[in-house]
Amino acid sequence: MPALKPTQPPARIHIQYAQPTVDAGRYPAKRTVGDRVHVSCDVFRDGHDLLRAVVRAQPPGGGEWIESELHAVDAHHKGVRWEGSFVVDRMGRWTWTVQGWTDQFATWRDEFQRKLEGGQEDLSGELSEGLVLLRETAGRATETGDKRIIEHALDLLDDADVPPAAKYDTALGHELFAAMERNAARHGAATLDPPVQLQVERERARFGAWYELFPRSFGGLRGVQEQLPRLRELGFDILYLPPVHPIGLTNRKGRNNTLVAGESDPGSPWAIGDATGGHDGVHPELGTHDDVRALCAAAAEHGIDIALDLAIQTSPDHPWLKEHPEWFLQRPDGTLKYAENPPKKYQDIYNLNWDTADWEALWHELRRITLLWVELGVKVFRVDNPHTKPIPFWEWLIKEVHAVDADIVFLAEAFTRRAMMRQLAKVGFTQGYTYFTWKNSRFELTEYVDELAWGPEREYFRPNFFTNTPDILNEYLVHGGPAAFYTRFTLAATLSPTYGIYSGYEWYENTPVREGSEEYMDSEKYEAKERALDGPMLPYIQRMNQIRRENPALQHLSNVGWLDTYNDQVMAYLKQHGSNVIICAVNLDPHNAQEASVVVPHDLGLPSHFQVRDLFSGEAFAWHTGGNYVRLDPWTRQSHVLHVESL
């Protein structure tokens, strides 16, 4: 049986390789409110007809489509690649697509002009074709001015008494061309199908400064609340708390991760659950649900989000062990296997069985727990080891939570394979921990930041450059002394829009439990300390956070450019956003002074001579394109953060 004839011929325009997309549109790219989304794609057709194209964007909820013109940019490929942009002004899932069509009048006009320039004398046939296009468009024109221009051209071109030269001038007139373009039919229009999704989140998803502390070292939740004015003064945006739940007694760890706890040892907060409650409870020594609500509300008044650790694991005393034993893996002899990540052992923690036949009930219980904390005011979840849980679960849970509160930020603590880190970001995690902690040389840092800032990950993976964590004390900090802390902090805070520090960093804490270990001696994971926000590094941290807020160039990732220094111990880079330009030079050597010549290339758009001001010291320096001398030393100035002033 012959195929049915279509009502119209197939489209002759092809639209391909649209960007930004993730896995050919399987997952949305990510942006934040206020961003200008730059779009590109190939738009072409057979023959030599000229084309037009637009990007069409629809806000969340199915609002009216917004159109922006695309422009051909790749002259080498005869205008195949097109680019344009649109601005996203609200949160949620946006939809965008590209529409292209044949520009009949522009095609006619281009051919007419080439024939005229080629010396062809009789163009009456060509003018008759143009008259048809003018009549069609005049009937569609709604603006009085455009209609008048087109009809005037019709009168001239159709008047036998008008000389040919005058007709030619009229046909090629710029006003006529503009009027025709504004009212042209979209002949043979084709649309990118399927449309592309774009996830737009609040600014905090992209830019922010994290501070991590243990509530039990600050007098519980009410004691933490008392620190909020100081944290705001220091410029922190997110206050991250490890788990605040009851802690199990069975196999409780003692100080320095010993297997037997003393009578007064509080245990690890990640060993969640005892007879009084589990993931939905608050440790009685820390406070109550009301204290959590009060803390979150007070933090919001200071412009701070409270982040809570979401650790899906249990102590042997968690109520789930009795209520839902089917949620746990049992050995053939009936015993349970504690958590391990050799050589690390977690005798006080059990993992869940994600392949349980009762998986749906488990998923919904975890949804209930997460939304409980959302209802109490928690705005951010730092998710512990998400790479050891099913990815479909995270995709489902994040969507469920965002359906209730789109403001919620999810940070993936996944120091694991790059493929897994990427996939967690694709399915919805707002941010991810990174390998930054272990990248210390100029080559390593340049290579890694380039991957994050300029590779495919830039569309969906937002890095969080934590300088340290309760589990990670890098050997660079162990052996580098205070200067190393300034180096790593400056790199984290100026290279990444989002960074974090763990309490004690400002005191240069760097004693490992033993040589070669990344665990802290007298780790706060296993004992309560008496903390206060008064470390000697805090003035520098406070000023850095102020600098970050005042300079948009430091609030973005994919705007970094590396500057030669002729010294691998000095790392220099430039970040630019509009007219805001910041140049950083950092001494990677925590023990010795280093000299370098920071080379500013001629192709960055900077004048040949300009002034820079050190945003910490206030000193001004005359710089120029080419080499600029710097001297950095661990005792007086380990880095420059320079604002380019005279542009």
- The per-residue pLDDT for 618 is 98
342 and 423 together in one domain: no
121 and 257 together in one domain: no
DSSP H helices in 430-575 = 442-454, 475-495, 538-550
Structure tokens at 638: 């380990």
- The per-residue pLDDT for 333 is 87
Where does the pLDDT of residue 330 fall: very low under 50, low under 70, confident under 90, or very high at 90 and above?
confident
Buried b (16+ CB within 10 A) or exposed e, 285-311: ebbeeebbebbbebbeeeebbbbbbbb
DSSP at 79: S
In a domain, 8, yes or no: no
The better pLDDT of the pair 2, 410 is held by: 410
| Contact of 190 with 13, CB cutoff 8 Å | yes
Q: Which of 508, 539, 555 is the last residue of a domain?
A: 555
344 and 401 together in one domain: no
Q: Which of 250, 199, 214 is nearest to 20 (CA)?
A: 199
Mean of the per-residue pLDDT values of the chain? 95
The set of residues, in sequence order, having a beta carbon less than 8 Å from that of 617 and lying 6+ positions away, is: 637
In a domain, 3, yes or no: no
First to last CA, the chain: 72
- The per-residue pLDDT for 75 is 61
Where does the pLDDT of residue 285 fall: very low under 50, low under 70, confident under 90, or very high at 90 and above?
very high
C-alpha 117: how far from chain center = 52
Q: Which of 528, 555, 582 is the last residue of a domain?
A: 555
Alpha-carbon dihedral 513, 514, 517, 522, rounded to 10 degrees: 0
Question: HSE-up of 288 (CA within 13 Å, CB side)?
Answer: 1
263 and 321 together in one domain: yes
78 and 115 together in one domain: no
The set of residues, in sequence order, having a beta carbon less than 8 Å from that of 221 and lying 6+ positions away, is: 215, 244, 282, 286, 287, 291, 292, 294, 295
- The per-residue pLDDT for 647 is 59
C-alpha 271: how far from chain center = 31
How far CA 290 is from CA of 282, 489, 545, in Å, comes to: 10, 35, 31
* Torsional sign, CA 398, 400, 402, 408: negative
Global pTM value: 0.94
Give the domain extent around 573.
560-644
Write the DSSP string, 153-203: HHHHHT-TTS-HHHHHHHHT-HHHHHHHHHH---EEEEE-SS-EEEEEE-G
Residues serving a catalytic function are 384, 413
- The per-residue pLDDT for 4 is 56
CATH code of 178's domain: 1.20.58.80
- The per-residue pLDDT for 1 is 47
| Contact of 491 with 437, CB cutoff 8 Å | no
How far CA 624 is from CA of 411, 476, 507, 583, 628, in Å, comes to: 41, 34, 38, 12, 7
Structure tokens at 59: 């806000």
In a domain, 4, yes or no: no
264 and 283 together in one domain: no
179 and 283 together in one domain: no
Which pLDDT tens digit goes with each residue over 600-612?
A: 999 999 999 999 9
Number of domains forming the structure of the chain: 5
Alpha-carbon dihedral 71, 75, 76, 79, rounded to 10 degrees: 40
In a domain, 536, yes or no: yes
CATH code of 58's domain: 2.60.40.10
Which pLDDT tens digit goes with each residue over 474-486?
A: 999 999 999 999 9
Which pLDDT tens digit goes with each residue over 394-421?
A: 999 999 999 999 999 999 999 999 999 9
In a domain, 432, yes or no: yes
Which pLDDT tens digit goes with each residue over 489-510?
A: 999 999 999 999 999 999 999 9
Which pLDDT tens digit goes with each residue over 585-631?
A: 999 999 999 999 999 999 999 999 999 999 999 999 999 999 999 99
378 and 464 together in one domain: yes
508 and 365 together in one domain: yes
Which pLDDT tens digit goes with each residue over 115-154?
A: 999 998 889 899 999 999 999 999 998 888 999 999 999 9
334 and 454 together in one domain: no
In a domain, 293, yes or no: yes
Where does the pLDDT of residue 336 fall: very low under 50, low under 70, confident under 90, or very high at 90 and above?
confident
Residue 76's CB: how many other CB atoms inside 10 A?
A: 7
44 and 82 together in one domain: yes
The better pLDDT of the pair 266, 2 is held by: 266
Q: Which of 173, 234, 180 is nearest to 493 (CA)?
A: 234
Which pLDDT tens digit goes with each residue over 33-80?
A: 999 999 999 999 999 999 999 999 999 998 899 999 999 987 655 679
Phi, psi of 484 (to 5 degrees): -65, -35
Where does the pLDDT of residue 169 fall: very low under 50, low under 70, confident under 90, or very high at 90 and above?
very high
CATH code of 602's domain: 2.60.40.1180
535 and 565 together in one domain: no
Phi, psi of 383 (to 5 degrees): -90, 120
- The per-residue pLDDT for 2 is 54
